[in-house]
Chain A
């Protein structure tokens, strides 16, 4: 789809430039899985203490981002459990959050903890979040959690290497979109 952008109807002198911009965009599409690239960076950087430090800082950013997604997942699950009537509407968003967690390196098992206590070993304690008794308030709480997560990711991406920053920005945008949809769905 992105390869057929709104095209200029007159070729004109800017034609070549536009092609080069498309080539630039195409390059990003062609990039191999982002996760693989980033893993490569981390693995290849054993050369010096400097790159080691950077690699472990990157790894910390990724695992922190994964834990934030896992915390959101726990909140979705707790909300669906407390309000079964909401479960179907929440499911698509929950699935997206699960994919975010995987993109940050969580295994599917730890990304969707049926038993939150099991996660304490891998990623720090995940408390079962308290869910408001009223469905409308529960949706508000979930929307706020998504928004806070988006904010945290935007802060985190300042220090991230290029590809991880791009992923964080995208997931932050998705979190913000979820917050919007959740807030809308209360009506």
Chain B
């Protein structure tokens, strides 16, 4: 149900630099960030297919929910890129998984990893845009972060901010921190 409105993506200023030169550059950055988000959503849709094939029955609904959400975001981003007169990045025929997914535990870990990666591209999209597009990116980041903790059972201090991830290692990599609330 997301509504990307690329008309509002061009920033008025960029980190204190001159306003006059920022128009085309920020529009290009917005489009690049949008393409990166789209590529991540393609990967997430593919990855959730793998998750759905391995996950236990009790979590199948959760996996379907994730897949549906990522398809919707992917389609909205595809439209938004076209509206900016970009050529949307396409999905690959297949993706190499970051680690083998032979069982239920690995499937849940993969789902958490997919969500973490999506968080990162949306954090960057927030930075590269403003207006309605920024708002949607923030909403997508928030949803992905909540799905990530559902899969992992533990939280991350700064979802999507890799440069701040060092201190949050305990919750970033393990799925067994069940006592971490």
Question: Residues of A at under 8 Å CB distance from B?
Answer: 1-2, 4-10, 12, 14, 17-18, 20-21, 24-25, 28-31, 33-34, 37, 41, 44-45, 51, 54, 88-90, 92-93, 96, 99-100, 103, 150, 154, 157-158, 161-163, 165-174, 176-178, 180-182, 185
Contacts and interface: CB of A to CB of B under 8 A. Distances in A.
Interface of B: 11, 13-16, 32-33, 35-36, 39-40, 43, 46-47, 89-90, 92-98, 113-114, 116-117, 119-124, 126-128, 130-131, 134-135, 137-139, 141-142, 144-146, 148-150, 154-164, 167-168, 171, 179-181
A41 to B, nearest CB: 5
B124 A28 contact: yes
Overall SS of chain B's interface: helix
Chain A: interface secondary structure?
A: helix
A176 B139 CA distance: 10
A127 B119 CA distance: 34
Given A93-B181, A154-B135, A99 B167 contact: yes
Given A2-B117, A20-B32, A99-B167, 12 more contacts: A5-B98, A6-B97, A6-B114, A8-B95, A21-B89, A29-B162, A31-B163, A169-B123, A169-B138, A173-B138, A173-B159, A181-B155
